Amino acid sequence: MNDKMPVISLANDDANLLAQQLGDSFRTYGFAMVTDHGLSDDMVKTAWDMTEELFAQEEAMKKRGYNANIAGARGYTPFKTEIAKGADHHDLKEFWHVGRTLPENSPLKSSMPDNIWPERPEGFADHFTKLYDEFDQIGAKILSHIALYLGLDKSWFDPAIEDGNSVLRLLHYPPIEGDTAGAIRAGAHEDINLITLLLGAEEAGLEIKRPDGSWMAVSPPAGGLAVNVGDMLQRLTNHVLPSTTHRVVNPANERSGHSRYSMPYFLHLRSDFPIKTLDGCVSADNPNRYPQPILADDYLRERLIEIGLLKA
Ligand SMILES: O=C(O)CCC(=O)C(=O)O
Ligand SMILES: [Fe+2]
Protein backbone atom coordinates (compact mmCIF):
# COMPACT_ATOMS: atom_id res chain seq x y z
CA MET A 1 0.00 0.00 0.00
CA ASN A 2 1.81 3.13 -1.18
CA ASP A 3 0.59 6.68 -0.60
CA LYS A 4 -0.46 7.28 -4.20
CA MET A 5 -4.10 6.28 -4.18
CA PRO A 6 -5.23 6.59 -7.81
CA VAL A 7 -8.04 8.94 -8.86
CA ILE A 8 -10.61 6.96 -10.86
CA SER A 9 -13.02 8.46 -13.40
CA LEU A 10 -16.48 6.91 -13.26
CA ALA A 11 -17.05 8.15 -16.83
CA ASN A 12 -15.06 5.20 -18.22
CA ASP A 13 -17.29 3.20 -20.62
CA ASP A 14 -15.11 0.11 -20.38
CA ALA A 15 -17.00 -1.63 -17.55
CA ASN A 16 -14.40 -4.34 -17.02
CA LEU A 17 -11.54 -1.86 -16.83
CA LEU A 18 -13.46 0.36 -14.41
CA ALA A 19 -14.33 -2.69 -12.31
CA GLN A 20 -10.64 -3.61 -12.16
CA GLN A 21 -9.57 -0.08 -11.18
CA LEU A 22 -12.20 0.27 -8.45
CA GLY A 23 -11.74 -3.27 -7.18
CA ASP A 24 -7.96 -2.96 -6.98
CA SER A 25 -8.23 0.31 -5.04
CA PHE A 26 -10.81 -1.13 -2.61
CA ARG A 27 -8.78 -4.29 -2.12
CA THR A 28 -5.61 -2.31 -1.41
CA TYR A 29 -6.91 0.66 0.58
CA GLY A 30 -10.56 -0.12 1.40
CA PHE A 31 -11.06 3.26 -0.30
CA ALA A 32 -11.23 4.72 -3.81
CA MET A 33 -11.13 8.33 -4.96
CA VAL A 34 -13.69 8.92 -7.67
CA THR A 35 -14.35 11.78 -10.12
CA ASP A 36 -16.92 12.26 -12.91
CA HIS A 37 -19.57 10.74 -10.64
CA GLY A 38 -22.39 12.66 -12.29
CA LEU A 39 -23.69 14.76 -9.36
CA SER A 40 -24.33 18.21 -10.82
CA ASP A 41 -22.27 21.12 -9.47
CA ASP A 42 -25.42 23.20 -8.92
CA MET A 43 -27.11 20.49 -6.95
CA VAL A 44 -24.05 20.03 -4.74
CA LYS A 45 -23.57 23.77 -4.22
CA THR A 46 -27.18 24.19 -3.08
CA ALA A 47 -26.72 21.23 -0.73
CA TRP A 48 -23.67 22.85 0.90
CA ASP A 49 -25.47 26.20 1.22
CA MET A 50 -28.45 24.54 2.88
CA THR A 51 -26.21 22.50 5.17
CA GLU A 52 -24.47 25.65 6.40
CA GLU A 53 -27.78 27.39 6.95
CA LEU A 54 -29.18 24.39 8.80
CA PHE A 55 -26.34 24.19 11.32
CA ALA A 56 -26.08 27.98 11.75
CA GLN A 57 -29.48 27.96 13.48
CA GLU A 58 -29.96 28.12 17.24
CA GLU A 59 -29.36 24.84 19.06
CA ALA A 60 -32.99 24.90 20.28
CA MET A 61 -34.24 24.99 16.67
CA LYS A 62 -31.99 22.12 15.64
CA LYS A 63 -33.01 20.07 18.67
CA ARG A 64 -36.60 20.12 17.47
CA GLY A 65 -35.30 17.68 14.88
CA TYR A 66 -33.78 15.33 17.49
CA ASN A 67 -35.63 12.15 18.41
CA ALA A 68 -33.72 10.13 20.99
CA ASN A 69 -36.22 7.26 20.63
CA ILE A 70 -34.99 6.52 17.13
CA ALA A 71 -31.44 7.31 18.20
CA GLY A 72 -30.90 10.03 15.64
CA ALA A 73 -31.58 7.60 12.79
CA ARG A 74 -33.40 10.53 11.18
CA GLY A 75 -33.06 14.26 11.75
CA TYR A 76 -30.64 15.90 14.17
CA THR A 77 -27.94 14.45 16.43
CA PRO A 78 -26.30 17.06 18.71
CA PHE A 79 -22.60 17.84 19.13
CA LYS A 80 -20.65 15.23 21.13
CA THR A 81 -23.30 12.49 21.02
CA GLU A 82 -21.58 9.82 18.93
CA ILE A 83 -18.56 7.98 20.30
CA ALA A 84 -16.38 5.65 18.22
CA LYS A 85 -16.33 2.05 19.49
CA GLY A 86 -13.83 1.78 22.35
CA ALA A 87 -12.99 5.53 22.29
CA ASP A 88 -12.61 7.70 25.41
CA HIS A 89 -14.06 10.91 23.97
CA HIS A 90 -17.17 11.86 22.05
CA ASP A 91 -16.73 13.13 18.49
CA LEU A 92 -16.56 16.90 17.88
CA LYS A 93 -19.41 16.87 15.38
CA GLU A 94 -23.14 17.37 14.92
CA PHE A 95 -25.15 15.90 12.06
CA TRP A 96 -28.50 15.53 10.34
CA HIS A 97 -29.68 12.23 8.82
CA VAL A 98 -31.88 11.97 5.76
CA GLY A 99 -33.33 8.53 5.04
CA ARG A 100 -35.39 6.94 2.31
CA THR A 101 -39.00 7.92 1.74
CA LEU A 102 -40.76 4.54 1.58
CA PRO A 103 -44.12 3.86 -0.05
CA GLU A 104 -47.01 4.15 2.48
CA ASN A 105 -47.65 0.41 2.94
CA SER A 106 -44.05 -0.84 2.72
CA PRO A 107 -43.30 -3.81 5.03
CA LEU A 108 -39.90 -2.21 5.70
CA LYS A 109 -41.41 0.73 7.60
CA SER A 110 -40.88 -0.94 10.99
CA SER A 111 -37.10 -0.90 10.53
CA MET A 112 -36.91 2.46 8.73
CA PRO A 113 -38.39 5.50 10.49
CA ASP A 114 -39.99 8.36 8.55
CA ASN A 115 -37.86 11.37 7.77
CA ILE A 116 -37.73 14.36 10.10
CA TRP A 117 -37.48 17.66 8.21
CA PRO A 118 -36.30 21.01 9.58
CA GLU A 119 -38.58 24.06 9.26
CA ARG A 120 -35.70 25.93 7.62
CA PRO A 121 -33.97 26.18 5.16
CA GLU A 122 -36.87 26.37 2.77
CA GLY A 123 -36.88 23.62 0.14
CA PHE A 124 -34.65 21.36 2.28
CA ALA A 125 -36.84 18.24 2.10
CA ASP A 126 -37.28 18.52 -1.64
CA HIS A 127 -33.60 19.12 -2.36
CA PHE A 128 -32.22 16.37 -0.14
CA THR A 129 -34.80 13.85 -1.32
CA LYS A 130 -33.48 14.43 -4.85
CA LEU A 131 -29.83 14.31 -3.78
CA TYR A 132 -30.49 11.08 -1.87
CA ASP A 133 -31.82 9.48 -5.05
CA GLU A 134 -28.77 10.60 -7.01
CA PHE A 135 -26.41 9.13 -4.43
CA ASP A 136 -28.45 5.94 -4.51
CA GLN A 137 -27.95 5.63 -8.27
CA ILE A 138 -24.22 6.39 -8.17
CA GLY A 139 -23.83 3.86 -5.37
CA ALA A 140 -25.68 1.21 -7.38
CA LYS A 141 -23.37 1.88 -10.32
CA ILE A 142 -20.25 1.45 -8.15
CA LEU A 143 -21.69 -1.74 -6.67
CA SER A 144 -22.35 -3.16 -10.14
CA HIS A 145 -18.63 -2.73 -10.85
CA ILE A 146 -17.73 -4.31 -7.51
CA ALA A 147 -19.95 -7.25 -8.52
CA LEU A 148 -18.05 -7.61 -11.81
CA TYR A 149 -14.75 -7.45 -9.92
CA LEU A 150 -15.93 -10.26 -7.64
CA GLY A 151 -16.96 -12.39 -10.62
CA LEU A 152 -20.69 -11.94 -9.96
CA ASP A 153 -23.41 -10.86 -12.32
CA LYS A 154 -23.28 -7.06 -12.60
CA SER A 155 -26.83 -6.79 -11.26
CA TRP A 156 -26.11 -9.02 -8.23
CA PHE A 157 -26.56 -6.19 -5.71
CA ASP A 158 -29.76 -4.76 -7.25
CA PRO A 159 -32.26 -6.81 -5.21
CA ALA A 160 -30.04 -6.62 -2.11
CA ILE A 161 -30.18 -2.81 -2.03
CA GLU A 162 -33.72 -2.27 -3.30
CA ASP A 163 -35.38 0.05 -0.75
CA GLY A 164 -32.16 -0.28 1.27
CA ASN A 165 -31.83 1.44 4.62
CA SER A 166 -29.33 4.02 3.30
CA VAL A 167 -28.70 7.29 5.10
CA LEU A 168 -27.38 10.62 3.85
CA ARG A 169 -25.51 12.33 6.71
CA LEU A 170 -24.92 16.08 6.68
CA LEU A 171 -21.97 16.63 8.96
CA HIS A 172 -20.74 19.77 10.68
CA TYR A 173 -17.49 19.89 12.62
CA PRO A 174 -17.48 23.32 14.34
CA PRO A 175 -14.31 25.41 14.71
CA ILE A 176 -12.00 23.95 17.36
CA GLU A 177 -12.21 26.02 20.55
CA GLY A 178 -9.77 25.82 23.43
CA ASP A 179 -8.26 22.58 24.66
CA THR A 180 -10.23 19.62 23.30
CA ALA A 181 -8.62 17.33 25.92
CA GLY A 182 -7.84 14.59 23.44
CA ALA A 183 -11.18 14.67 21.57
CA ILE A 184 -11.04 14.72 17.77
CA ARG A 185 -13.57 15.49 15.04
CA ALA A 186 -14.26 11.83 14.33
CA GLY A 187 -12.55 9.08 16.31
CA ALA A 188 -11.07 6.04 14.55
CA HIS A 189 -13.90 3.82 13.30
CA GLU A 190 -15.10 1.60 10.49
CA ASP A 191 -18.37 2.29 8.66
CA ILE A 192 -21.12 -0.25 9.33
CA ASN A 193 -22.83 -0.23 5.94
CA LEU A 194 -22.05 -1.71 2.50
CA ILE A 195 -20.23 1.23 0.87
CA THR A 196 -19.96 4.94 1.74
CA LEU A 197 -19.86 7.78 -0.80
CA LEU A 198 -18.34 10.84 0.83
CA LEU A 199 -18.46 14.41 -0.50
CA GLY A 200 -16.39 17.18 1.06
CA ALA A 201 -13.26 15.24 2.00
CA GLU A 202 -11.07 17.69 0.08
CA GLU A 203 -11.10 19.77 3.28
CA ALA A 204 -8.19 18.28 5.23
CA GLY A 205 -8.70 15.90 8.11
CA LEU A 206 -9.69 12.48 6.77
CA GLU A 207 -7.07 9.80 7.42
CA ILE A 208 -7.02 6.04 6.86
CA LYS A 209 -5.08 3.49 8.86
CA ARG A 210 -2.30 1.60 7.13
CA PRO A 211 -1.76 -2.06 8.03
CA ASP A 212 1.29 -1.04 10.12
CA GLY A 213 -0.92 1.21 12.28
CA SER A 214 0.29 4.54 10.86
CA TRP A 215 -2.12 7.05 9.29
CA MET A 216 -2.35 8.27 5.70
CA ALA A 217 -4.23 11.45 4.68
CA VAL A 218 -6.88 11.03 1.97
CA SER A 219 -7.95 14.02 -0.05
CA PRO A 220 -9.84 13.58 -3.33
CA PRO A 221 -9.78 16.34 -5.97
CA ALA A 222 -12.29 19.18 -5.37
CA GLY A 223 -15.82 17.93 -5.95
CA GLY A 224 -14.70 14.30 -6.03
CA LEU A 225 -15.91 11.45 -3.85
CA ALA A 226 -14.02 9.33 -1.36
CA VAL A 227 -15.74 5.94 -1.57
CA ASN A 228 -15.09 3.25 1.01
CA VAL A 229 -15.95 -0.32 1.87
CA GLY A 230 -18.04 -0.74 5.04
CA ASP A 231 -18.24 -3.67 7.45
CA MET A 232 -21.22 -5.26 5.70
CA LEU A 233 -19.32 -5.56 2.42
CA GLN A 234 -16.20 -6.71 4.27
CA ARG A 235 -18.28 -9.44 5.92
CA LEU A 236 -20.05 -10.42 2.68
CA THR A 237 -16.68 -10.71 0.90
CA ASN A 238 -15.00 -12.56 3.78
CA HIS A 239 -12.53 -9.64 4.11
CA VAL A 240 -11.41 -9.83 0.44
CA LEU A 241 -12.50 -6.17 0.39
CA PRO A 242 -11.43 -4.59 3.70
CA SER A 243 -13.38 -2.05 5.73
CA THR A 244 -10.51 0.26 6.58
CA THR A 245 -10.33 2.17 9.87
CA HIS A 246 -10.49 5.92 9.33
CA ARG A 247 -10.82 9.12 11.38
CA VAL A 248 -11.07 12.90 11.02
CA VAL A 249 -8.32 14.77 12.88
CA ASN A 250 -8.37 18.36 14.10
CA PRO A 251 -6.43 20.71 11.84
CA ALA A 252 -3.22 22.10 13.32
CA ASN A 253 -3.18 25.26 11.22
CA GLU A 254 -5.51 28.24 10.78
CA ARG A 255 -8.20 25.90 9.40
CA SER A 256 -8.93 24.91 12.98
CA GLY A 257 -10.77 28.23 13.29
CA HIS A 258 -13.13 27.13 10.50
CA SER A 259 -16.00 24.71 10.35
CA ARG A 260 -15.56 21.56 8.31
CA TYR A 261 -18.59 20.20 6.45
CA SER A 262 -18.87 16.80 4.80
CA MET A 263 -21.63 14.64 3.39
CA PRO A 264 -21.32 10.85 3.56
CA TYR A 265 -24.00 8.69 1.94
CA PHE A 266 -24.04 5.39 3.83
CA LEU A 267 -25.40 2.88 1.34
CA HIS A 268 -27.14 0.06 3.20
CA LEU A 269 -28.63 -3.28 2.28
CA ARG A 270 -32.36 -3.88 2.54
CA SER A 271 -33.15 -4.43 6.23
CA ASP A 272 -34.35 -8.02 5.57
CA PHE A 273 -31.35 -9.08 3.46
CA PRO A 274 -29.32 -11.98 4.94
CA ILE A 275 -25.58 -11.23 4.92
CA LYS A 276 -24.13 -14.59 3.89
CA THR A 277 -20.48 -14.97 2.89
CA LEU A 278 -20.05 -15.10 -0.91
CA ASP A 279 -18.88 -18.56 -2.04
CA GLY A 280 -16.35 -16.99 -4.42
CA CYS A 281 -14.64 -15.27 -1.50
CA VAL A 282 -13.96 -18.49 0.43
CA SER A 283 -10.78 -20.49 -0.21
CA ALA A 284 -8.32 -22.77 1.55
CA ASP A 285 -6.23 -19.70 2.43
CA ASN A 286 -9.26 -17.68 3.46
CA PRO A 287 -11.79 -19.99 5.12
CA ASN A 288 -15.28 -18.65 5.83
CA ARG A 289 -14.97 -16.31 8.82
CA TYR A 290 -18.77 -16.02 9.19
CA PRO A 291 -20.44 -19.45 8.83
CA GLN A 292 -23.59 -17.98 10.44
CA PRO A 293 -25.48 -15.49 8.22
CA ILE A 294 -27.07 -12.43 9.88
CA LEU A 295 -29.93 -10.16 8.73
CA ALA A 296 -28.77 -6.69 7.74
CA ASP A 297 -31.06 -5.02 10.30
CA ASP A 298 -29.88 -7.23 13.20
CA TYR A 299 -26.29 -6.47 12.29
CA LEU A 300 -27.00 -2.72 12.13
CA ARG A 301 -28.70 -2.70 15.56
CA GLU A 302 -25.78 -4.51 17.20
CA ARG A 303 -23.37 -1.97 15.82
CA LEU A 304 -25.46 1.15 16.66
CA ILE A 305 -25.56 0.06 20.31
CA GLU A 306 -21.75 -0.11 20.29
CA ILE A 307 -21.37 3.50 19.09
CA GLY A 308 -23.80 5.00 21.57
CA LEU A 309 -26.56 5.84 19.06
CA LEU A 310 -29.00 3.11 20.14
CA LYS A 311 -29.96 1.83 23.60
CA ALA A 312 -29.72 -1.95 24.13
O1 LIG B 1 -16.12 13.76 7.48
C2 LIG B 1 -15.42 12.90 6.92
O3 LIG B 1 -14.54 13.21 6.10
C4 LIG B 1 -15.60 11.44 7.23
C5 LIG B 1 -16.83 11.14 8.04
C6 LIG B 1 -16.95 9.68 8.41
O7 LIG B 1 -16.03 8.91 8.31
C8 LIG B 1 -18.24 9.17 8.90
O9 LIG B 1 -19.14 9.98 9.21
O10 LIG B 1 -18.39 7.93 8.98
FE1 LIG C 1 -16.72 6.86 8.44
- What is the full DSSP assignment across 237-249? TTTSS----EEEP
pLDDT over 80 (residue 311) = no
Cα 264 to ligand 1 centroid, rounded to whole Å: 6
Rounded to an integer, the average pLDDT of 152-167 is 97
Cα 246 to ligand 2 centroid, rounded to whole Å: 6
Q: Give the three-class secondary structure for 217.
A: strand
Rounded to an integer, the average pLDDT of 281-304 is 95
Question: Which protein residues have their CB within 5 A of the ion that is ligand 2?
Answer: 191
Q: Residues 74, 112, 50, CA angle at the centre, nearest 5°?
A: 30
Cα 163 to ligand 1 centroid, rounded to whole Å: 23
Rounded to an integer, the average pLDDT of 128-152 is 98
Q: What is the DSSP letter of 59?
A: H
Q: Which atom of ligand 1 is nearest to the CA of 185?
A: 1
Rounded to an integer, the average pLDDT of 71-99 is 92
Q: Which atom of ligand 1 is nearest to the CA of 260?
A: 1
pLDDT tens digit sequence for 24-65 = 999 999 999 999 999 999 999 999 999 999 999 999 999 999
Give domain limits for the chain.
7-306
- Fold adopted by 7-306: Jelly Rolls (2.60.120)
Nearest to 216, CA basis, from 225, 204, 206? 206
Q: How far is CA 307 from CA 111, 232, 312, in A?
A: 18, 16, 11
The fraction of the chain above a pLDDT of 70, given in percent, is 100
Output the pLDDT for position 83.
Answer: 85
- Give, for ligand 1, the residue of 55, 85, 171 to mutate: max count of ligand atoms closer than 8 Å to Cβ: 171
Cα 165 to ligand 2 centroid, rounded to whole Å: 17
Rounded to an integer, the average pLDDT of 87-101 is 96
